[in-house]
Amino acid sequence: MSSFATSKEGYTWSPEKGLQAGLATEGAIRPLSSFAAAQSSKPFDTIVIGAGYAGLTAARDLTLAGQKVLLLEARDRIGGRTWTAQVDGEKYEMGGTWVHWTMGYIWREITRYGLERKLKITPNELYPDYAFNRTNFNGTIFTESFKPNFEMCENAFKRFVDVDGQLGATVVAIPTQVMDGPLVDPELVDKYDRMSIADRIAEVRAKNICSERELAYLIPWFVLSWGARPENASMLELIKWARHGENSFGMLASILWFYKFADGQSHFAKSFFDEAFESGNLCYSLETVVTKVEDRHGSVEVFTNKGSYKAAKVVCTLPSNVAAKVQFSPPLSPLRQEAFSQKHVGQGHKIHSLFSKPEFRSGVWNAWNEPGHGETLELAAAFGDQTLKDGRVSVVSFGGGNSAQNVPSQDPTKIKRWLTQVDPELEQPYLGSIWHEWIADPYAEGHWCMWGPGHYTKYFRELQKPHGNIEWASADWADGWKSFIDGAIEQGGKAAYRITKEWRRRPQQSRL
C-alpha cells in the first residue's frame, strides 16, 4: 500500500482489473493549498506559474533569496511533464526520466540533494542470449546483438549528422549557443533549421552515406526522440543533440536513457519544493488554473479559478503548446503569439507495459513504416526498463506523430495490438500497462518540446524575452538541453537570478 497521495492523472489497465484512472505519487502535495483565501489580498514579491522543474527551481531560488513567493499549479501534483507513479510498490516514470553528469544544471542539483549515488541503470545484459536490438522497418526485420549494433549505429550516426565534413561543428559549434555566439554562422543555422530530418534521409540515401540496414535503426530512433514523423522534425535540432553528445551515438544513448533515480523523479522534484517551503517564504496552491495575467502600474495580477493574486513580478513556465490558453494584458508580441499558435511537434505516446517473460529486460525493439510501406505505426520503439520484485518485466514504449484522438484510454486493448505491430513476440506474455496521455493532457498538449523545420530560427530569441514584469522560463526554449529537465532548471534558475538581482537593487521600503 502506497503512503503517497493519489493524483487524478495517469492510467493503469489489465484484463483482470480493467481501466483505472489516477496513480499514487510522491509529487501529490497535500493539502492542496498552504494558505487561506483571506491571504489572497496580500501581495507577494513574485508569483511563479507552474510547478514543473523550471517553476520549482525559480520558487526555491527566490524564496532562499528572501522573497515571498506564491507557486501556482494547475495539476494536483508538482513536477509538470515529469513525475513518478507508484503502482503495487513499483515506480514508473511517466514523463521525463533519465539524468546524466554531462547535464550540468541537473547534476548540480542531484549532488545538492545527495542523490548522485541513488541511481539505477535502464539497459543491461542480464540475459546475454536475449540482449538484442531488433528493428521492424518498412516490413523488413533486422536483429543485432547489443555490442555490434551500437558499433554500427555509432558509425552510421556520425555519417548521418556530418552535413559539413566537420560533424556539424560549423552549424552548431557550441550546443548552448545555437542562435548567438562568436562561432555562430546564421546562414548555416537557418539552412539546417529549414531542413527536415526527412530531407536529410533523402540526401543520405541519394549519396549512399548510410545503408538501409543502418537507416532501419536510426530512423525509428529519430521518431522516438522527436515524437514526430521525420518530415516534421528539424535537422538543426538533431545536429544540436549530436553536438551535446560529441557526435557519438553511444554517448547520447548513455546520456538519454541509461541512468535514472532509484527513488523516482517525483522524489527529486519534492526536494526542490521542500527546500523552498522550509524557508518559510513559500505559499502554494495546486489545482489552480491561471486564466489571465495583467501587468499594470508596476504590479502584476494573476487571475485563476480560485481568485486573483498580486505580485511585483511573475515567472511564467507554461509549456509552449498551452501558453495561448492564458490571456495576457498587455498582449504578448505577435511573434510570441504566433509561436504558441504553431505549437511544437512532440506528439508521442509513452507507455509502460508489463510482461511475464523475464528475458524482455534485455530487449530493444524499433519499428517504423515510411509512407508507402504499410500502415502507420503508433509505436516506434520499446525497451526493457526494469525487473519488478515479482519477476515480471516492465517494457517502456514510445510513439511518434500520434494523435490526441487516438489515445489508449479510449480502448486500452489496442496497446497490445500496437506492441504486436512492433514485434509479434510481445503479444503472448503481455499483462497490462501504465501510462500518462501527454498529447491529450490539457496542461501540456504534447510531451517534451521538439520543433519542426524553421521554428528554431524564427521564434527562439522571442520566446526567451521577458514581457514587462513577466519572466518566461521553460525547458521549451532553454539554451542548453532544450526540452530536458536540465533545460528547465537552467531557465528557472536564470529567471530567479534576474528577478533577485533587480529586487535587491530596490530600496527595502519599496519591496512588496
The binding site comprises 73-74, 244, 290, 398
CB-based contacts of 380: which residues, under 8 Å, 6+ apart? 220, 223, 224, 348, 366, 367, 368, 398, 399, 400
b/e per residue 286-295 (b: at least 16 CB within 10 A): bbbbbeebbb
Q: Cα Rg for the chain, rounded, in angstroms?
A: 23
* Strand ranges in 191-261 using DSSP code E only, listed in sequence order: 259-261
Q: How far apart are alpha carbons 41 and 61 in whole angstroms?
A: 24
In the block, cell 529567471 appears at 495
The binding site for substrate comprises 244, 398
- Name the residue among 437, 459, 365 with its Cα closest to residue 134: 365
The binding site for FAD comprises 73-74, 290
In the block, cell 547520447 appears at 252
User: How many other C-beta atoms are found inside a 10 Å radius of the C-beta of residue 501?
Assistant: 10
Q: Is 298 exposed, middle or buried (0-12, 13-18, 19+ CB in 10 A)?
A: exposed
Bridge-partner residues for 311, per DSSP? Answer: 44, 300
Output the nine-digit C-alpha cell for 355.
Answer: 510482461
Give Cα separations from 23 to 7, 272, 302 (angstroms): 5, 22, 30
**Residue 303: in which H helix or E strand, if any?**
strand 299-304
Q: How far apart are alpha carbons 32 and 74 in whole angstroms?
A: 11
